A and B are shown apart, each in its own frame.
Chain A
């Protein structure tokens, strides 16, 4: 068999046998292939999916159910000796306190929204790991020797991370509802809006962590960075606790932390709580965050991948 018979649409031998003519010239041709490759590893391996869900679920269970702030104030949890305050009044006081502090009467629902941001951040942090692996295994060089656009290589990592985190967040939300998250204020549009904000959050953070990983050849460095940033980012936001009770310096950090804005959107749209800022501002902030960092990521990838 000769090359001509097996490749229809080819220029005959004697000219260009490489079939460069049939190769797509669209700059996006490899984007979906690269993204799907990342996703396949994830959805074809249920263990990884399951493991990635365990941590937020644990947090939900331990934090959300154990730190039962509501119970602190209700049902005779406290009384002042000498003053015989009726139970109903204490319960009402407790409820008001909860509403005042958390914007909802149970901490579990408050935390559940925070956990949605948590899983997004967690997934994004590891999006950088895959490019480190690709580099170590030589896959990155292999991909770069093909006519795939350099930007597509980075964009595929970001996209797959976004898709993964949104799906994982949806599972977390479902589990939270099963465990007793309040659904009284949820609407379809609200849920869609909340997930859109999560996607934006994921876009921005995935870009950041990919940029950190672009030149790295060592997954230990990447792990160290992830571990270093993990908790400060989460606790320095309103995901676990309302910012209004934090010291001023921490509040200032919470105000720039994009996690706060995604969580704020989630609380407003899913729980109907009063927000830290207006919905429009929240969305604008997140969109700007995602746009700026993904743009920087793509520009950097151009420069760093072509040495």
Chain B
């Protein structure tokens, strides 16, 4: 079994302490009905204590991968260990050590919040004495104490999500899987849910494995991100590494007049890596340290008598990384019908 090492976030992000692997995924493959390759031999490690984000278009294999790691699906080939246990050979040992917060609202609407959380505890076979304490503690942590004896059907979307979180933590898992934990929630509630997730993580020192549609969330939360497309991992690394891989900031520039080709002139400026003339008077510049470079470009042009009429600076975002790697924007995608229906159902219920 993996030995746990206490690390604080700072040390971790700087990578000074050797990382302990908590999940090892090796050429994991899932083929449905003999022909549909949902996951095509993915391999990666997840380190203890980190927040690992799993991004990709619908149908890319995210849910299938999570389903295999949470022992709901049997891989066609390949292997994976979670907390040191093989997902195929000892699925029950894995199940005892993981928590799952599914995309859907799975809590029973006819029961109260407290009854729901105790139900989860019973599924793990946690003795009543301990589960009562834990339920109280978790409900306090997600601030549902006051509502614990109300039926779940009266809960708002944010409350339900928090209840799902509490249920997923009842066995004090070492790895918590979160599938689209903020789907359908408004911006404020989303921020609140992430606050809870962070707090829970700090409290219990878990490893988080999550998928999300909101790239800005992934950017600010995740220690590392894997982007998966067509069943394969196309990129893996910290948000910063991914963004840096795009080759720096983008400066867009409009010049008055515009008969002369200014590409050679701009290319000489320090830090500029690439210049393209988009139209007769517009240029697109890729450069490191865009905020420093932009004024230098303006100066260089002015010294030769050209006037800059318009300038914009774009820092690379995860959206752009995503677009570059998968060829599509995360907002404009459509999954298969059943998946879209399920997501709509979750979103409808979230908005009540």
Query: Which chain A residues have a beta carbon within 8 Å of chain B's beta carbons?
Result: 1-3, 6-10, 13-20, 22-26, 29-30, 32-34, 37, 40-41, 44-45, 136-139, 141-148, 217, 306-307
Q: Assess whether A217 is in contact with B205, with CB atoms less than 8 Å apart.
A: no
CB distance from B274 to the nearest CB of A (A): 46
**Which chain A residues border B342 with CB–CB below 8 Å?**
136, 138
Q: Assess whether A138 is in contact with B125, with CB atoms less than 8 Å apart.
A: no
**Which chain B residues border A25 with CB–CB below 8 Å?**
125
Q: Of B96, B104, B137, which is within 8 A of A18 by CB?
A: B96
Q: Assess whether B125 is in contact with A19, with CB atoms less than 8 Å apart.
A: no
Of the stretches B114-122, B209-217, B238-246, B302-310, the one at the interface is: B114-122
Q: Is the interface of A mostly helix, strand, loop or mixed?
A: loop
- 24 A-B pairs whose Cβ atoms sit less than 8 Å apart in the complex: A3-B205, A14-B6, A17-B204, A18-B96, A18-B172, A18-B173, A22-B126, A23-B124, A23-B125, A24-B127, A26-B125, A30-B125, A32-B122, A37-B108, A37-B119, A137-B104, A138-B342, A141-B67, A144-B71, A144-B72, A145-B177, A147-B92, A147-B95, A147-B125
**Which chain A residues border B171 with CB–CB below 8 Å?**
18-19, 23, 146
How many residues of B are in contact with the other chain, CB < 8 A?
A: 50
Question: How far apart are the CA atoms of A14 and B7 in the complex, in Å?
Answer: 11
CB distance from B178 to the nearest CB of A (A): 12
Q: Of A34, A136, A141, which is within 8 A of B102 by CB?
A: A141
Q: Of B110, B130, B338, which is within 8 A of A40 by CB?
A: B110
CB distance from B85 to the nearest CB of A (A): 10
Q: Assess whether B4 is in contact with A307, with CB atoms less than 8 Å apart.
A: no
Q: Assess whether A19 is in contact with B95, with CB atoms less than 8 Å apart.
A: no
Question: How far apart are the CA atoms of A285 and B177 in the complex, in Å?
Answer: 48
Q: Assess whether B108 is in contact with A139, with CB atoms less than 8 Å apart.
A: yes
Q: Assess whether B93 is in contact with A20, with CB atoms less than 8 Å apart.
A: yes
Q: Besides the contacts A25-B125, A26-B125, A30-B124, what 19 more A-B pairs have beta carbons closer than 8 Å?
A: A1-B203, A14-B6, A16-B1, A17-B174, A18-B171, A23-B124, A37-B111, A40-B110, A40-B111, A40-B115, A41-B108, A41-B110, A137-B105, A138-B104, A138-B106, A142-B100, A147-B92, A147-B96, A307-B74
Question: How far apart are the CA atoms of A42 and B61 in the complex, in Å?
Answer: 38
**Which chain A residues border B3 with CB–CB below 8 Å?**
14-15
